[in-house]
């Protein structure tokens, strides 16, 4: 090759140089994101101004906070006119905020243990990677949690569980002959066991008995958790059944589901709660005490299952008809097709909607404070703000409630996003 | 399972229907506990403390009745009620009596079919305004925004007062007293109106109580008292005379300090003797033990002691006796004679 016309040839690579200061690191990031035009720069400056205002305003309130005192008046004495939160209300009344004011304080370990075990019980449902054997514990958990929280003899939950098992065994034995007969047989079998167990438990009420705590003594954040967890886990299966029922070709089932869903969705939750608390008491004879928590659980479950049914129906409608036809062409019957082909896809589509309903439902449990139940909000609005010591403390208490609810709801939301990524089957 | 529980509950309900036909007093004795409706929380009148024990002026009435009927001031199941649930709770039999600063009115007594057994606190609706507003009379409040609790008589009184004086106002509806305080302090409303006792308690909790004034006008009569259901007169008598016993005890000088001595044997004052059961058979007439009133008074002291301990001038609520003094001191408390 003849190179003599070329005056200069670089024979070595230049070492890499750092990019210009304006095109790298924090400076570039700020130029791109905060000061990309004069208008954005202006907005950034305004935002910085407000952030500084809020932080400098709120910081002394937290930093000067009083954590030990017996009343608001004492807090004000300690602060001597300085800005500062009176967090002593939290240190003095934390147990009332978490467990209500009547749960016996030497028994707090029971709901706490139930709360910890809740994570063990739900984790195999939430994370498919965990061993499937853990599902046995999940099945046992409701009975264990009932025993821990309400107390009494362990025979009650055990016999209820036995009733379920007997019913299930009868159902599987008869299922081959007829589904309806099997279901009826299972229900009768379970009912017989429960009727008999009434005699057993009243005779042997001391077997492995924890101190019994009546429902009206439940309160605080524990009550929100009980209502939220029970109602979400009950309303999901009921919602699936309702959604399938609404799509059914059998007219009576279809119309029952349609009327139920449309009626419940047309009524505000607070009305249903008033019905549970007030109107049912008129229908039942005087002196009857039909457990208030149970009444509320039934009403909230009905409410949220109607919403979940509509969310899942949306998922069912989004499936291409080809999926139904493919299932039919494989020779699967209705149950198999629904279980193996339709539901897994429909539920995946419905995840954001279901989580939305679940988060909303969990926050709606605070509405029970209106029917004089002392959940977290009820505790704050009622007893604590009405005590002579803490009358007038607002921010500290409400921020605590906000914090608790945010932790739970943000956790649920993060999980659902993770699950969506896990179940993603597209190729983008 | 839900279904079976529901059916089970219906069965139990059917069985219980027979039992419920007996009088309330027999129900209470059989149960061993008095179900007493109270507010979900009002400073000085009813609120649970840090240990979950209920205390307060209305709570004292519940405890006195429990002591009179069951002999134990702690044999009370306190059922918290809101302004909206209180009457249904009583009418449906969920509670035996309601002691929840409830105003005795014609329609509540006659139309809602309740029996007000007396008055344990004579209240009246007042106004609180910030001092800097420079208002000295409620009649100068033309065009003011007013914080007011919904579902109470105060709402109706306010409308009546402003209409009668031909001035206008802007209502800011609120649910509880606890919500009213921050709203009022933040200036969401110029005026806060509720029962004068509630205003005093609210103002006492402010950081600077001196910056707020209570206006001189009291625009309504609010006789607050315990109530029971219509139609069970034996039970109504028990609650009425327990309250009267507390009032009479103060008039007769019977206190929790000297009650043990006075009831040990019959003394010089025949009315004290009849009240405490050392003479006569009043207890038998009302269907209780002879020492029923003695137990009721021992529960928390006589009316004056209950007042001083919960809402009196030495408490944060700081209410003066005023109308709630004995008739001998110019107040309105006047118990019929124990004879």
Alpha-helical regions (H) of A127-219? 134-150, 155-175, 179-203
CATH classification for the domain delimited by B26-120+225-329, as one of 3.30.70.2740, 1.10.533.10, 3.40.50.280, 3.40.190.10: 3.40.190.10
Of A286, A371, A388, Cβ closest to residue B43? A388
The answer to whether residue B335 scores a pLDDT higher than 90 is: yes
How many Å lie between the alpha carbon of B108 and the closest alpha carbon of chain A? 18
Select from B18, B94, B231 the residue whose CB has the most chain A CBs within 10 Å, as the one to mutate to test that interface: B94
The answer to whether residue B304 scores a pLDDT higher than 90 is: yes
B62 close to A (CB below 8 A): no
The answer to whether residue B31 scores a pLDDT higher than 70 is: yes
Beta pairing class for B191-195 and B125-130? antiparallel
Please say whether the beta carbons of B326 and B244 come within 8 A.
no
CATH top class, domain B124-222: alpha beta
For residues A126 and A263, the model is more confident at A263
Residues pairing with B228 in the sheet: B115
Please say whether the beta carbons of B28 and B70 come within 8 A.
yes
Instruction: Using the structure block, give the residue that is written with the tokens 């003479």.
Output: B279
Please say whether the beta carbons of B294 and B280 come within 8 A.
no
- Window 201-230 of B, Cβ < 8 Å to A: 201-202, 204-207
**What's the pLDDT score for residue A241?**
93
Residues in chain B closer than 8 A to A384 (CB atoms):
41
- Please state the ipTM of this predicted complex: 0.74
Reported confidence tier of residue B20, pLDDT bands at 50, 70, 90: very low
Of B9, B177, B204, Cβ closest to residue A290? B9
Query: Can you give the C-alpha Rg of chain B in angstroms?
Result: 22
Tokens of A26: 């924090």
**What's the pLDDT score for residue A281?**
67
Of B13, B46, B92, Cβ closest to residue A282? B92
Of A101, A164, A284, Cβ closest to residue B48? A101
B42 close to A (CB below 8 A): yes
How does the average pLDDT of chain A come out, rounded? 86
For residues B235 and B41, the model is more confident at B235
Q: What is the pLDDT of residues A221-256, one digit of tens each?
A: 999 999 999 999 999 999 999 999 998 889 999 999
> Are A286 and B93 inside 8 Å of each other by CB?
yes
Q: What is the pLDDT of residues A321-378, one digit of tens each?
A: 999 899 989 998 888 888 888 998 998 889 889 988 999 999 999 998 888 788 999 8
Query: Mean pLDDT over residues A272-281, rounded?
Result: 79
**What's the pLDDT score for residue A174?**
81
Please say whether the beta carbons of A259 and A136 come within 8 A.
no
**What's the pLDDT score for residue B204?**
78
> Are B81 and A372 inside 8 Å of each other by CB?
yes
Please say whether the beta carbons of B229 and B274 come within 8 A.
no
Q: CA–CA separation, B54 vs B214, rounded Å?
A: 29
Would you say the pTM of this structure is higher than 0.90? no
Reported confidence tier of residue B3, pLDDT bands at 50, 70, 90: very low
Q: Where are the domains of chain A?
A: 18-64, 217-422
Nearest by Cα to A394 from B177, B58, B122, B56: B177
Q: Compare all CA atoms of chain B with the CA of A72 and give the residue at the minimum distance.
A: B205
Fold of the domain built from segment(s) A217-422: MetI-like fold (1.10.3720)
Tokens of B32: 């061993």
Residues in chain A closer than 8 A to B19 (CB atoms):
287
How many Å lie between the alpha carbon of B22 and the closest alpha carbon of chain A? 11
Q: CA–CA separation, B294 vs B254, rounded Å?
A: 9
């Amino acid at each position: 090759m003849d190179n003599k016309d070329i005056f200069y040839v670089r024979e070595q690579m230049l070492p890499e140089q750092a990019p210009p200061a304006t095109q790298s690191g924090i400076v570039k990031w700020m130029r791109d994101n905060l000061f990309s035009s004069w208008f954005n720069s202006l907005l950034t400056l305004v935002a910085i101004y407000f952030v500084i205002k809020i932080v400098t305003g709120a910081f002394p309130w937290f930093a000067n906070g009083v954590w030990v005192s017996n009343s608001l008046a004492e807090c004000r004495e300690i602060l001597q006119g300085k800005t500062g939160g009176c967090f002593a209300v939290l240190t003095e009344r934390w147990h009332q905020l978490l467990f209500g004011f009547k749960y016996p304080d030497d028994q707090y370990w029971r709901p706490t243990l139930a709360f910890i075990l809740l994570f063990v019980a739900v984790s195999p449902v939430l994370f498919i990677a965990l061993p499937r054997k853990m599902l046995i514990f999940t099945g046992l958990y409701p009975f264990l949690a009932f025993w821990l929280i309400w107390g009494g003899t362990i025979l009650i939950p055990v016999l209820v569980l036995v009733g379920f098992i007997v019913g299930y065994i009868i159902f599987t034995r008869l299922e081959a002959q007829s589904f309806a007969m099997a279901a009826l047989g299972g229900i009768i079998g379970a009912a017989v066991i429960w009727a008999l167990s009434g005699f057993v438990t009243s005779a042997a009420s001391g077997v492995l008995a924890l101190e019994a705590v009546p429902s009206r003594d439940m309160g605080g954040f524990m009550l929100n958790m009980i209502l939220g967890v029970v109602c979400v886990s009950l309303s999901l299966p009921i919602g699936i059944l309702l959604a399938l029922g609404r799509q059914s070709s059998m007219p009576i089932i279809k119309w029952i589901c349609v009327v139920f869903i449309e009626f419940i969705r047309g009524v505000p939750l607070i009305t249903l709660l008033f019905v549970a608390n007030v109107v049912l008491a008129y229908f039942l004879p005087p002196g009857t005490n039909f457990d208030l928590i149970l009444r509320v659980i039934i009403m909230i479950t009905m409410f949220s299952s109607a919403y979940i049914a509509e969310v899942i129906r949306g998922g069912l409608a989004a499936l291409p008809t080809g999926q139904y036809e493919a299932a039919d062409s494989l020779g699967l019957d209705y149950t198999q097709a629904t279980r193996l082909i339709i539901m897994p896809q429909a539920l995946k589509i419905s995840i954001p909607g279901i989580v939305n309903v679940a988060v909303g439902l969990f926050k709606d449990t605070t509405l029970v404070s209106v029917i004089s139940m002392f959940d977290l909000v009820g505790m704050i609005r009622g007893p604590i703000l009405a005590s002579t010591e803490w009358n007038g403390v607002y921010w500290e208490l409400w921020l605590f409630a906000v914090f608790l609810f945010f932790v739970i709801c943000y956790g649920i939301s993060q999980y659902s996003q993770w699950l969506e990524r896990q179940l993603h089957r597209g190729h983008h | 399972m839900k279904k079976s529980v529901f059916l089970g509950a219906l069965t139990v309900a059917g069985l219980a229907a027979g039992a419920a036909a007996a009088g309330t007093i027999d129900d209470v004795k059989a149960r061993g506990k008095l179900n007493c409706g109270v507010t979900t929380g009002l400073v000085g009148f009813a609120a649970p403390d840090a240990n979950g024990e209920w205390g307060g002026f209305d709570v004292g009435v519940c405890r006195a009745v429990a002591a009179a009927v069951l002999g134990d001031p702690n044999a009370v199941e306190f059922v918290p009620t809101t302004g909206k649930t209180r009457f249904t709770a009583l009418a449906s039999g969920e509670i035996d009596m309601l002691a929840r600063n409830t105003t005795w009115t014609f329609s509540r007594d006659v139309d809602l079919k309740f029996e007000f057994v007396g008055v344990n606190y004579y209240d009246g609706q007042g106004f609180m305004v910030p001092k800097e507003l420079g208002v000295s009379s409620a009649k100068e409040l033309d065009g003011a925004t007013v914080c007011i609790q919904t579902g109470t008589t105060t709402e109706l009184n306010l409308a009546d007062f402003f209409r009668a004086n031909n001035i206008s106002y802007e209502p800011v509806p609120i649910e509880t007293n606890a919500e009213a305080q921050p709203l009022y302090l933040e200036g969401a409303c110029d005026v806060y109106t509720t029962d004068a006792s509630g205003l005093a308690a609210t103002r006492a909790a402010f950081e600077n109580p001196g910056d707020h004034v209570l206006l001189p006008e009291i625009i309504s009569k609010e006789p607050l008292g315990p109530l029971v259901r219509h139609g069970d007169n034996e039970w109504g008598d028990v609650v009425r005379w327990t309250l009267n016993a507390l009032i009479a005890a103060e008039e007769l000088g019977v206190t929790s300090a000297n009650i043990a001595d006075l009831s040990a044997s019959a003394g010089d004052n025949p009315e004290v003797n009849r009240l405490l059961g050392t003479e006569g058979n009043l207890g038998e007439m009302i269907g209780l033990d002879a020492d029923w009133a003695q137990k009721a008074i021992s529960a928390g002291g006589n009316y004056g002691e209950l007042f001083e301990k919960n809402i009196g001038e030495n408490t944060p609520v700081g209410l003066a006796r005023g109308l709630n003094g004995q008739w001998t001191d110019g107040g309105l408390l006047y118990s019929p004679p124990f004879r």
